[in-house]
Homo-oligomer: A and B are copies of this chain.
Amino acid sequence: MVEQDDARPGVSRRAILGWAGAAAAVGIAGAGGVAAGRASSPATGAPTGASRVYPFTGAHQAGIVTPAQDRLHFATWDLTTTSRDDVIDLLRRWTTAAARLTQGLPAGEFDPGAGPYDSPPDDTGEAADLAASGLTLTFGFGGSLFSTADGTDRFGLAARRPAALADLPHFPGDQLEAARTGGDLAVQACADDPQVAVHAIRNLSRLAFGTAAIRWSQLGYGRTSSTSTAQRTPRNLFGFKDGTANLMAEEPEQAEEHLWVAADDDAAGGASGGGDTAWMTGGSYLVARRIRMTVETWDRSSLREQEQIVGRTKGEGAPLSGGTEHTDPDFAAGGRGGEPLIPIDSHVRLAHPSSNGGARMLRRGYNYTDGSDGLGRLDAGLFFLAYVRDPRTQYTPMQTALARDDAMSEYLRHTGSGLWAVPPGVPEGATMGTPDGAFVGQGLFT
């Protein structure tokens, strides 16, 4: 990585894109944990935490138990190649770029052999003045990567598809749009600055040109869950606090039980005939659901009705059985007429672990507003993201019950869906950015 002159005298490409001297020293290998960042920090109006930097490497991918950032850009890609090597090359390029971007560096490697001024910049530049902003990039593999609907083994991976990556069933009331559902590859970009998250997805997509094309993407703008007890419980677009009972980063034992795939998991056991699925050990499964909320109808329902549907008070977020936000709901508590204080069809009751065999999830969803629908209504709702050790036991039964019985369903419409296997992290100290360097999901291909 040598400083190069280019066609415009005295201006190096590195200077053009705001490369700081410190950045060059970090290099592209083992950037994890190094608090490098772009030289200048945002001026007025920048989010706090702009200088927050999370390590890219580790036993698990970042962006799962990482305290939920405020902004999301989520995207899925379909592979346009038929070559397994192309897929591996893409994952290598993505890994190298992700290791840089998450540390606040431009996406691209500096290539001293290329004519820098007469080739496209190796970073699109719109985040050149912005800090890392807590960016995490989390990669997932969809079922379609392993085999298509007609059973074609596209890349010789069918035997390595985990049983837990079975397609989600059709749930009652689903109104899924193909253009918001599925995808061979998925990346969750979270940051405290939306421009940083969008920049990351855009540069990953640029690096995928010719190998994979974006299938769909979704922006989210206000986390709807806390993943750390240090975070205040946020409100969803129904105006209620959401995710009070979420699995938190401060519960490592709960994470071992509910979040991370273990070596001897059924979840890692191949459904397709004893394939080796050990590559998922230390990984997790990501369920995404785009849930449109009919907010205009909700806004015309009474406060009483809203609280009966949710099962919590709107202000404090306390269960209707009493107490404060973090008081455990008492589902047995009855009112004067003997009927339960927390209604049988309330959301909090049906979604509670006690109604779901003790299953817990790490929720990491975001509010979204995608303009309006042409009928005078906002296209707004919840982009639900949840990480689980096994979706077959931790998501599907709960969503089946919710879709059938939840009083809230009247105000919800599931319009997009996806399930991805999220492999473990790239190990600390791994070398990235070389032709045979480490990459995310490497275990699947070796």
A residues in contact (CB < 8 Å) with B = 7-8, 11, 13, 15-18, 40, 42-49, 67-71, 73, 75, 116-121, 123-129, 134, 179, 192-195, 198, 201-202, 205-206, 209, 213-219, 221-223, 228, 230-232, 234-240, 295-296, 299-304, 306, 313-315, 367, 369-372, 374-378, 380
Contacts and interface: CB of A to CB of B under 8 A. Distances in A.
Given A120-B302, A306-B121, A378-B214, A11 B313 contact: yes
Contacts of A315: 11, 15-18, 128
B126 A239 contact: yes
Nearest to A40: B232
A70 B45 contact: yes
Nearest to A194: B221
Q: How many copies does the complex hold?
A: 2
Contact of A223 (B45, B193, B236): B45
B47 A121 contact: no
Contacts of A202: 237, 295, 299, 378, 380
A42 B226 CA distance: 13
Contacts of A301: 120
B374 A118 contact: no
Contact of A119 (B238, B239, B303, B372): B303
B235 A121 contact: no
A381 to B, nearest CB: 12
Contacts of A216: 371-372, 374
30 contacts: A7-B304, A11-B315, A13-B303, A16-B303, A16-B314, A43-B230, A43-B232, A45-B49, A45-B68, A45-B134, A48-B48, A73-B369, A116-B303, A117-B304, A120-B299, A120-B302, A125-B314, A126-B236, A126-B238, A127-B235, A194-B221, A195-B221, A195-B367, A198-B367, A209-B296, A213-B376, A214-B372, A219-B219, A219-B370, A370-B370
